[in-house]
Chain A
């Protein structure tokens, strides 16, 4: 019950509400317990004795109890809602905030659908227990203990029969918890898998359509859907069986009590009134036991889900802020790499939260690929940062470079040669495995990450825009920017003209996946977004690949003018994009193969010459 215990710790801010909740749960139970006692009173003291006053008294007390019960139940409802919704709210906030803190290295290994399932579905499962389950559990225990006490008071020998029944029922319940608990984990896991499939399918709907894979996707969905369903059925079967078993047990107890009690009445050791009261207590005391199977399933579900929630919270972001960040005012933007090496996790690690090797099993025949290592006969090693990698698979190897403040540095090289990786180390999206990256002479690991990233304007290779207007998207990095500033940034990014042609100009909505914008337009909005933050370091990672040359040329001129003094790192494929750079680095297989200006490289670097001729051969 470790997961649930952690979740229950979230009760702390609601301490008073919890007290109110407990009190308002106990009171109605007590009030309900009064009823059979009074019925007995009415029968024995009133009817048998022919005393109408006793009948009145008994009924009056019952009525009073009913009214008191009504009042407290209202309080109970409010307390329960406050507590359970409050805890769920806090949990979701914590989870979301925590997920936002995950570094790229964490995110690379997780699936959106799985994470979403944990934030919404798993939290809701825990909430339902906190709301209904806890109160029911408390109520059931009170009812059982209370009526048992009353039964023992009435006749302890008869009461002992019930105690025996309870012990047997308890064993059944215990067994049930042991067996069914783990099954619920699997239910939620399958739900996460289903969610992941749906999420990917919808995000990649254009590919699905392009390849006419709707049927294939439906089959995949059906498989996971059936999987999820079957797991649910499996659990449901246990539930369907445990309920009647408890029903038989409790009623068997009642019957034995009546049998023994009847004999006692006949023998004159028990009054009929007592027997009636006894059987009534049995009815109200034992019937909550039937609810217990519901509560039990709630508990085991909640425990399974809580574990999944806690798992997210316990996953530490790979990038940790320094305990005492360096104080940097007015950074100039000087950047240096000193013998930097880096590698990504070569394969997924199988750990609960992280997506497992089988992906989402789009092609079941392929099966899972738990670890890449044996497949290739390579040894895997776990690196300092928790990345798993094959030995000797460096993405960056011994990179040293220096960019003075305000310089423009260009990176060229083959696909996969490490260009993006190199620039991703500057805003500390990943930590290096060896060597140091410094800005203004300060190790990036000593910067406050937020300050670091505010100083750096990044245009990532994959353009991501958000739901909202064009203006909101450009002002993403600085929501308080005035419309003039937004327009300025858009103008510099050569986005202003096409934005003005959109139906609502800057207030036009960006559709899902930026569907109403062309690739080049999205890239220019992303550039405007980065420019608006007035960074001291600007990183353009292949961010004009879909922009036509004419526009790109104008963009470069505008950047040269407006971003003067800003250190710029530009990853590009086109020679025309890098020709005016102060320093061009040619990367090859994670190493710097050559560096210099355009002229120097054209004269001295074979790779650069090759790149050049691939673009200008016939010109």
Chain B
């Protein structure tokens, strides 16, 4: 692990103080619901008290009326008992209804907070964290909190009240017996403490392994086509089986611990009842105890243990919620590396002048982007997985060194050069996906670190190398560029991008469904849709990063003519390998080995007979004239 929380990002060996911290943070999420909580507490108290009075009245029925044969009194009492129970049920219905809403809101707040936070995170964070694990945090970890909280809070309060009430009632009934009961208390506390200490560790492992399981799944479901292409189903399954086993093992441990707790209390209850019966029986025979009191007392013992057991089990469940909450807060604690400076103004409508001043950059030198999960390996390829951490930091690899460039408003700048030279990085820096290490980038004279990043990107139209479409309709995908665009504007953008003709041929036209990642479209079609999306954004600066690499050249020529019209008055950065694409640029920058090695117009560069010239001629060499056709070619 390069950075951040050591091995795998799992917070193991957490200090106990941190648990309290986690609890407090969870409580902070409950603050908006203070009033409702108060109301719930009120109704919980009512229903608990009423439920407590119930058996007490039943006990009185025996002693006061049945033994004395007072049927009239019995009837009155029975009526009272019915009233008490109906009241208790009513109160618990009210409290339940409020709590359901409250609990669900609470968890959905947490989920929304987490999702919002992930949207704010910089690219470096997303580069280093697996989608599946992050997903698991949003759904599974918050679900773990939900499970405990929605029922837990009510049960906990009512159990505490029930416990306290039973205790008081027992003391009033017979203090000697009640005192004897307190002897058991420390024993129960010790058992609960011991059990939950173990279960906490187990639940952490469960949530962590669930994240890992999700990561393997996400990767191999999105990559299922490659898995099949290489007939690797068996190996992939073995990897899954592996993570799955670990998840099962963790779950089993947690389950066994949890399952043991309840029955342990039940057993203790039986022992206590036996002891009480013995003691009470002795007292009763000696005449110091009424039979009715003993009967009531035994009921109280049972009533005493049930909430105790409930609390212990809830406390145990709480460990699962804490494990989930820890992972969520851990994610929330990672701060975005690319942030707006406090008080940074938005970028006003720009002319489109772009300036790179001696910019250097390396991905590794990014300030700790804190991978929350172990982005490495996750043991996907067993045997080959290296230990995730403890590797000495290699010298950060410079991706860009001393890049300077100047684009006048409206100019088209082409970036050419071998793969991996750093062309895409230049574009990523201009979009401020990452911050430069040295030097500065200015747009219309504003250092981009001094303005709001959103206001910068809004004026950029970016077509990225990795074409990504969302599931939804074609229209929705194009409209992603500008949400308030009318249908006509969407179509106009598609026409400009040369996408309209194929879209119209689709069975549903613009309403055709794009499946996940646009898998039902060819790469070239995806690229055209992505271009339409960028065009619709109506940007001052257009960035095309190999935007047409999979588009056939005839379509591309048509597209270029359209783009030429579009680009009038707009600044453009174009990365392409097909030199036909870049001939019209005002300036061509040749990037090689992380530097700009040549610059000038197409003609100037050709005349220079340097790197660009070689690049250019290689494209024609094999096709034109008596080219050195490589061996292996046979007569067609």
Contact = CB atoms under 8 A, between A and B. Distances in A.
Interface stretch (B4-12, B177-185, B244-252, B348-356): B244-252
A89 B245 CA distance: 7
A373 B119 CA distance: 37
A106 to B, nearest CB: 9
B33 interface: no
B273 interface: yes
A583 B457 CA distance: 46
A468 interface: yes
A110 B140 contact: no
B609 interface: no
Contacts of A605: none
B472 A468 contact: no
Interface in B581-636: 583, 614-615, 618-624, 629-634, 636
Given A198-B135, A203-B468, A76 B281 contact: no
Interface string B216-248: 011111111111111111011100110011011
B240 A93 contact: yes
B120 interface: yes
B228 to A, nearest CB: 7
Q: Please indicate which of the listed interface residues B129, B244, B274 has the most CB atoms of chain A within 10 Å of its own CB.
A: B274
Contacts of B634: 407, 582
Contacts of B629: 579-580
B620 A619 contact: yes
Given A225-B112, A503-B394, A524-B419, A245 B281 contact: no
Given A100-B227, A512-B127, A85 B252 contact: yes
A248 to B, nearest CB: 4
A209 B633 CA distance: 47
Contacts of A52: 281-282, 285
B118 interface: yes
A176 interface: no
Interface in A273-298: 275-276, 279-280, 283-284, 287
A208 B218 CA distance: 19
Given A191-B139, A375-B509, A518-B420, A198 B115 contact: yes
B275 A59 contact: yes
Given A32-B266, A362-B470, A573 B550 contact: yes
A515 B127 contact: yes
B420 A498 contact: yes
A551 interface: yes
Contact of A469 (B386, B479, B546): B386
B174 interface: no
Given A96-B217, A199-B218, A573-B550, A372 B476 contact: no
B74 A66 contact: no
B386 to A, nearest CB: 6
Contacts of B454: 212, 214
Contacts of B299: 280, 283
B263 interface: yes
Given A255-B85, A503-B394, A46 B281 contact: yes
A276 B295 CA distance: 7
Interface in A27-78: 28, 31-32, 35, 38-39, 42-43, 46-48, 50-52, 55-56, 58-60, 62-63, 65-67, 69-70, 73-74, 76-78
Contact of B277 (A62, A112, A127, A616): A62
Given A110-B516, A359-B473, A47 B507 contact: no
Contacts of B266: 28, 32, 69, 73
Interface stretch (B20-28, B54-62, B441-449): B54-62
- Interface of chain B: mostly helix, strand, loop or mixed: helix
A33 to B, nearest CB: 11
- Interface of chain A: mostly helix, strand, loop or mixed: helix
A472 B633 CA distance: 33
Interface stretch (A155-163, A229-237, A328-336, A437-445): A229-237
A222 to B, nearest CB: 6
Interface string B338-374: 0000000000000000000000000110000000000
Interface in B112-149: 112, 115-116, 118-120, 123, 126-132, 134-136, 138-140, 143
A376 interface: yes
B281 A42 contact: yes
B263 A73 contact: yes
A333 to B, nearest CB: 15
A373 B512 CA distance: 10
A89 B214 CA distance: 14
B249 to A, nearest CB: 8
B470 A507 contact: no
A265 interface: yes
Nearest to B338: A209
A109 B377 CA distance: 29
A206 to B, nearest CB: 6
A62 B273 CA distance: 8
Nearest to B82: A255
B552 A254 contact: no
B529 to A, nearest CB: 11
Interface stretch (B103-111, B161-169, B403-411): B103-111
Interface in A575-619: 575-576, 579-583, 596-600, 610-611, 614-619
Contacts of A164: none
B32 interface: no
A502 B337 CA distance: 23
A107 B225 contact: yes
A233 B108 CA distance: 11
Given A359-B513, A464-B223, A573-B578, 13 more contacts: A47-B285, A52-B281, A244-B92, A245-B89, A283-B302, A450-B233, A466-B220, A469-B377, A515-B127, A520-B420, A548-B615, A581-B636, A615-B580
Given A55-B281, A467-B380, A266 B419 contact: no
Interface string A408-425: 000011111101100000
A243 B93 CA distance: 8
Contacts of B118: 201-202
A243 B251 contact: no
Contact of A453 (B97, B229, B376, B385): B229
A55 B289 CA distance: 14
Contacts of B556: 614
B105 A229 contact: yes
B241 A93 contact: yes
B278 interface: yes
Nearest to B422: A518
Contacts of A119: 217
Contacts of B620: 576, 616, 619
B244 A111 contact: no
B100 interface: yes
Given A467-B377, A511-B128, A233 B101 contact: yes
Q: Please indicate which of the listed interface residues A266, A347, A512 has the most CB atoms of chain B within 10 Å of its own CB.
A: A512
16 contacts: A28-B266, A47-B285, A51-B285, A205-B123, A210-B457, A210-B460, A233-B100, A245-B89, A266-B69, A283-B302, A359-B471, A363-B472, A467-B215, A560-B632, A564-B632, A579-B623
B104 A515 contact: no
B431 interface: yes
A116 B381 contact: no
A419 B96 CA distance: 61
B119 A214 contact: yes
B90 interface: yes
B509 A212 contact: no
A195 interface: yes
A247 to B, nearest CB: 5
A398 interface: no
Contact of B557 (A31, A561, A583, A614): A614
A102 interface: yes
Contacts of A116: 132, 135, 214, 217-218, 221
B214 A120 contact: yes
Contacts of B264: 70, 73
B494 interface: no
A47 B284 CA distance: 6
